[in-house]
Amino acid sequence: MRPSSSGHLPINGLSLYHEVYGGSTASPLLLIPGAFMSTESMTPWVSAFARDRTVIVFDQQGHGRTPDTSRAMSYERFADDAAALLRALNIERADVMGYSQGGGVALQLALRHPGLVDKLVTLSATYRRDGWYPSVLEGIEGSNASAFAGTSVERAFKEHTPDAAAFDAYLEKVTVLNNNDQQISDEQMRSISAKTMVIVGDADAVKPEHALAMFRLRGGGDEAAAASGALPEALSARLVILPATSHVGIFGESAVLVPMVSAFLDDVTPATPALF
């Protein structure tokens, strides 16, 4: 697909690259890539969602075609960048979906700019550092430039900044960002006004009990529906756990997940069969 519009915008001291697809009157969807990822990474998701709704995707600071600056990286700053982008595009309210680090940014966007977020989808993301398995955090600490030599991450960065020292500095900043992660409190999670969908794999880097905690803090687990055996209306939270699916693997499951996410965004629930 080709974007209906694209380019760089001056956002919070960045030259932030973005793309807009489709032109549906349905609520627009902002897609936020994960760490080390760019707009190109989101192509399968953009293509699937843009059939029915306007889709916005952007490169975060230092990622893809958005050059890095001396500014420190944080989930909060990235969320403010996303908010400023939506306002620059004259979008008053959007659904938001983020993968991994992008899911953490989506959470911050819903917390810091609640008026901009209609529905919220986190894909393999956490709201606290202890939501990751310890081995994941150890792997993040060990990240370095040699691990990314010859990869799409290195190529994408050096297309706009052909400087080895700058690439090393960028990797260090992203590593520090993800190693420190974020510490959203349970109270803050409960305060989010957006209906929320939590998605993880059962072999994810995110602990399944953490995903369940997110689901419950967002209002999931309806006892009345459980007692009746039926779901009379769309609830405030949904939980998806895909079987035999890893943190990287889940990103390749757009064909499975897009229909589920679209149903959530449209407040559609499965029909209850007439069993009795």
Query: What does the DSSP 8-state code read for residue 74?
Result: -
Is 84's pLDDT higher than 70?
Answer: yes
Q: How far apart are the first and last CA of the chain?
A: 47
pLDDT band per the 50, 70, 90 thresholds, residue 142: low
Tokens, residue 93: 């309210």
Which residues partner with 242 through β-bridges? 201
The per-residue pLDDT for 55 is 97
12-21, 144-153, 200-209, 259-268, range with the lowest pLDDT: 144-153
Whether the predicted pLDDT of 99 surpasses 90: yes
225: tokens are 């529906």
- How would residue 250 be classed by pLDDT, with cut points 50, 70 and 90? very high
Q: Is the pLDDT of residue 43 over 90?
A: yes
Q: Spell out the domains of the chain, with CATH numbers in brackets.
A: 5-265 (3.40.50.1820)
DSSP 105-147: HHHHHHHH-GGGEEEEEEES--SBGGGB-HHHHHHHHT--GGG
> Quick one: CA torsion of 90, 268, 195, 11, rounded to 10 degrees?
-20
- Report whether pLDDT(276) > 90: no
pLDDT top residue among 85 and 137: 85
Q: What percent of the chain has pLDDT over 70?
A: 98
* Mean pLDDT, residues 14-20: 97
Report whether 96 contacts 117 (CB < 8 A). Answer: yes
- pLDDT for 225 equals 76
pLDDT, residue 270, reads 82
pLDDT given for residue 272 in this prediction: 81
Q: Across residues 44-58, what is the average pLDDT?
A: 95
Average pLDDT on 49-74 reads 93
Q: Residue length, the chain?
A: 276
* Predicted pLDDT of residue 178: 84
pLDDT of 242 higher than 90: yes
Mean pLDDT across the chain, nearest whole number? 92
**Is pTM, for the whole model, over 0.85?**
yes
